[in-house]
Amino acid sequence: MMGGLILSFFTAGPLGLFYGFIGILIAMVAFGWMWKIQILGAGDVKLLMALGALSGAATSTGKNGLTFTVDLALLSLIVGGALALILLIIKGRFLAFLKKFYRFLLTALDKNLETEFPKADSSLQMPFGISIAIASIWVWFDNPLIRWGIRPWN
Partner 1 sequence: MELKSTLVSESGQAVTEYVLILGIIVLFYGGLMTVIEKMNLAERLAAPIVGSYARTYKYGNPTAKGFDEGTPENHPRAVIGGKVRLFINPR
Tell me which of 29, 85, 95, 108 binds partner 1, using CB under 8 A.
85
- Decide: is 92 part of the binding site for partner 1 (CB under 8 A): no
Q: How far is Cα 127 from Cα 41, in angstroms, rounded to an integer?
A: 9
CA angle 51/54/56 to nearest 5° reads: 150
- Decide: is 120 part of the binding site for partner 1 (CB under 8 A): yes
Of residues 6 and 134, the one with the C-beta less far from partner 1: 134
SS3 154: coil
CB 27 within 8 A of CB 51: yes
Cα 111 to its chain centre, rounded Å, is: 32
- Decide: is 118 part of the binding site for partner 1 (CB under 8 A): yes
Of residues 5 and 48, the one with the C-beta less far from partner 1: 48
Q: How far is Cα 53 from Cα 11, in angstroms, rounded to an integer?
A: 12
Interface with partner 1 by CB under 8 A: which residues?
34, 38-41, 43-44, 74, 77-78, 80-85, 87-88, 93, 97, 100-101, 118, 120-122, 124-129, 131, 145, 148-152, 154
